Structure 1
Amino acid sequence: MTFSPFRIDVSDEVLDDLRARLLRTRFTGRSDDQPWRAGTDPDYLRQLVSYWIDGFDWRAREAELNTLSHYQARIGGRRIHFLHVPGIRPADAPAPLPLILSHGWPSSFVEMLPLVDRLTNPAQYGGDPADAFDVVVPSLPGFVYSELPDGPLTRAAIAQTLHLLMTDVLGYRRYGAFGGDIGGVVTSWLGTLYTEQVAGIHMIHPPFPASFDSRPLSPAEQAYLDADAAYDQTDGGYSAIMGTRPDTIAASLVDSPAGLAAWMIDKYRDWSDNHGDLESRFDRDTLLTTITLYWASGAIGSSFRQYYDFDHNSPRPDITVPAGFTVSTEPSYANYPREIAERACTDIRHWSEPGRGGHFMPLEEPDLLAGELRQFFTSLRPS
């Protein structure tokens, strides 16, 4: 398989239309006395839309993104977009271990960008140049510039696509994988399906076993599962509609940039480690870069596909490759007990609960996470 360079190039027509729609935005009132309790706060959304119109410079962000090495390949007849950044290492150092970094929802390849320099050029951050990695950052199928496959979008199918990207397209014989959220589940499938080529996997969201039937639940496991179910009662509306009526909500979001922003911002605030202050973790330019990519590519509906196709997923076998975890502090992973991960993984070699960093940890805590990834993956080098 071959690949070719790719540039992000949003037309003036698309940007003019976006601005016109933003200028005509109709805002709702707040449903609760407390901001954010009923979803994205209308007052914050007004401020964000105003900045999107008059403060956000997409062309500057587009130019910045295009300084990176973007490519596209056709895998299974469908286009896959990815970044490929070789590691900078001393001439006498061994070839770096390639790492593929996979994002989740509502995210994009932009989430992984703070990790790229830290992993490919550690000397720039005070690290050992010999610890450099080659880094590959894909857009998952259905996200931004990567197309959906013809069949159901299962996590195993995504893993197959990413494995072909690493091996058949880029020619790597052995690599490591990192991910969070959907990208984390895909990473776990890479470690299950390709044990000869995958040196190890690292995630911020530890996996669940295919079944809890092997032994009775411990008190800690039961408490966590009960708390997670209770949290889902307040948070799960988004996934319920995306998993059952994706076309209904997508019709609204692909037509209204303010609606799209509200749908995505709600999760950036709720799932990150921001203590109620969204912009303590993400500046507006970062938030609007990903939202604008979704808008310009029209990909919000296709990003829902893995929710709608969820029932096509089969139970995942045990993960036998070396596994490492830096556990997110977001509400759904609060007090997650390691023993649940031990039901799914037979070889956990790294477990860290740093107490900071949430669902979007590469953006929230890049220095912390890059250090964790270096520590884990350098331990897997052949002796």
Structure 2
Amino acid sequence: MSVTPFTPTIAPDVLEDLRDRLRGTRWPDELHGVGWDQGTSSAVLRSFVRSWLEDFSWAEQEERLAGFSHVRVDVDGHGVHAVHERAPRAEGAAEPLPLLLLHGWPSSVVQMLPVLGPLARPGEHGGQAHDAFDVVALSLPGYGFSDRPTQPGTDVARIADVCVQVMEQLGYPRFAARGSDLGAGVLQQLGLQHPDRLIGLHLSGTNPYLGYVPQDLAPAEEEFVQRAQAWNATEMAYAMEHSSKPQTLAHALNDSPAGLASWILEKFRTWSDCGGDLDSVYSRDDLLTNLTIYWATQTIGSSMRLYYETAHSSRAAYGRVEVPTGMAMSGADMFPTPREWVERSYNVTSWTDLPRGGHFLEWEVPDLVVDDIRTFFRGHR
């Protein structure tokens, strides 16, 4: 086991191959006037491909990434990438709280970049020094600059173990944690299997899984179940494919950057509080940086495979997480989730209804996320 400094880079020949493939995109037909009704709009995707080819500069993004402290942590022979931003130390001051940040799919550690500075150096971003965190934004195994698993079995439960080992090697036997999407799934397993390691959890989002529906539903929960069932009927096909035949899709998306962009950007549009306009919430550089990392590291297959591994897991724990949990919830996420439903699975000690934002809150509303994290963990320092 070891921790080594790391610099995110992409080889020039990989970037040139990407540009060649973008130039050679073979576009499908599209019915007149359908827009996004049948999936990704060809007009919008063509615009993004053109931006990726003509305007996007990986060199500029590489320089931006180099402004953060990156490490690779060896866990049982597999490299795990993380951005490790340590808070400044002041003589006589309490040690900053260690905070683990976990992204989900189809995101990456790039989602966390807007919140790293404010969390680690609050005095530079309108906050108070006593709110500082040592932040560890981890790339999930099989995502981005973390190694791709080579054997079956890397599910959310296994990644929870990996997180414990990474944090311990970085000097944090106990830590706070924040996540959403699959990252929240990992943290749920952490809370069930390693509750002694956690100071507290800060989560967002919802889980559309309805494998078991209790009989004693409150009215708000009954409405939630109806919304979740409707969502599953119209929006869940991607997850069913990931959970059943991820390799079939991997062959296509790993070979076509336009196809990769189509599969990923449609989810950013659908799950964000953007009113159908990606450019109203995200910078194209951010979205294209995320796509470029997926493409260059060839992790679209391994990222989707996490769904399969988790759906077929034999080691995932079940039960209620008793670790103190703060929820920052957006009504513009996949669908609203009532507190009563979440409290069946978590010891919810704080609940914030955010006025805006969707599924990717660190990108969409970093100021609100930072404020809620600071507020919640003040009671756990």
Would you say same fold, with TM above 0.5? Answer: yes
Shift of residue 35, structure 1, vs aligned partner: 1.4
For the structure 1 residues 206 and 235, does the alpha-carbon distance in structure 2 shift closer, same or farther, using more than 3 Å as the test? Answer: closer
Contact 1:209 1:318 (C-alpha < 8 Å) held by counterparts: no
Give SS of 2:79's match.
strand
- Distance in 2, matches of 1:233 and 1:199, equals 37
Q: CA RMSD in A?
A: 1.7
1:107-155, Cα deviation, whole Å (9 max, x unpaired): 0000011110010011112111121000001100110121244341221
2:296 counterpart residue number: 296
Aligned residue number for residue 161 of structure 2: 160
The residue aligned with 1:76 is: 76
> What secondary structure does 1:53 align onto?
helix
- Look up the match of 1:25: 25
Aligned residue identity for 1:220? A
CA distance in structure 1 between the partners assigned to 2:358 and 2:25 by the alignment: 31
Deviation at residue 362 of structure 1 after TM alignment: 0.3
> Which residue number corresponds to residue 57 of structure 2?
57
Match of 1:305 in 2: 305
Residue identity in the other structure for 2:343: E
Q: What is the CA–CA distance in structure 2 between the aligned matches of 1:25 and 1:280, rounded to whole Å?
A: 26
Question: 2:320 is matched with which residue: 318, 321, 335?
Answer: 318
Q: Deviations over 1:229-278 (max 9, x none)?
A: 11121111211222222111111111111110111000000001101111
Quick one: which amino acid aligns to residue 340 of structure 1?
A: W
Question: How has the CA–CA distance of structure 1 residues 25 and 358 changed in structure 2, closer, same or farther, with 3 Å as cutoff?
Answer: same
Structure 2 alignment gaps of length 5 or more: none
> How far 1:206 sits from its partner (Å)?
5.1
Q: Distance in 1 between matches of 2:372 and 2:56?
A: 33
Residue 32 of structure 1 and its aligned partner are, at CA, apart by 6.3
Instruction: Specify the alignment match of 1:281 in structure 2.
Output: 281
1:86 aligns with: 86
Deviation at 1:209, TM superposition (A): 9.7
- 1:4 is paired with a residue whose SS is strand
Counterpart contact for 1:85–1:116, Cα < 8 Å? yes
Q: Which residue identity lines up with residue 245 of structure 1 in the other structure?
A: K
Other structure's SS at 1:332 match: coil
CA distance in 1, matches of 2:131, 2:178: 16
The equivalent of 2:203 in structure 1 is 203
User: Are the aligned partners of 1:90 and 1:129 in contact in 2 as well (CA < 8 Å)?
Assistant: no
Deviation at 1:33, TM superposition (A): 2.4
Q: Taking structure 1 as reference, are residues 315 and 173 closer, same or farther at Cα in structure 2, changes over 3 Å only?
A: closer
Return 348-357 or 284-293, whichever deviates more.
Answer: 348-357
Residues 1:197 and 1:209: Cα distance change in structure 2 (over 3 Å): farther
Quote the Cα distance in structure 1 between the aligned partners of 2:77 and 2:332: 37
**Aligned counterparts of 2:53 and 2:7: Cα–Cα separation in 1:** 24
CA distance change for structure 1 residues 238 and 115 in 2, over 3 Å: closer, same or farther? same
Report the residue type matching 1:324 in the other structure. G
TM value normalised by structure 2: 0.95
Shift of 1:210: 8.6
1:221 counterpart letter in structure 2? E
Aligned residues: 377
Q: Aligned pair 1:231/2:226, yes or no?
A: no
Asked whether the equivalents of residues 246 and 301 of structure 2 are also in contact (C-alpha less than 8 Å), the reply is yes
Runs of 4 or more above 4 Å deviation: 206-213
Q: TM-score, normalised by structure 1?
A: 0.94
Q: Which residue of 2 aligns with 1:361?
A: 361
Between 184-193 and 12-21, report the one with greater CA deviation.
184-193
**1:326–1:369 Cα contact (<8 Å) kept:** yes
The percent of aligned pairs where both chains have the same amino acid is: 38
CA–CA distance in structure 1, aligned partners of residues 197 and 243 of structure 2 = 33
Partner of 1:245: 245
Residue 342 of structure 1 is matched in structure 2 by 343
SS at match of 1:105: coil
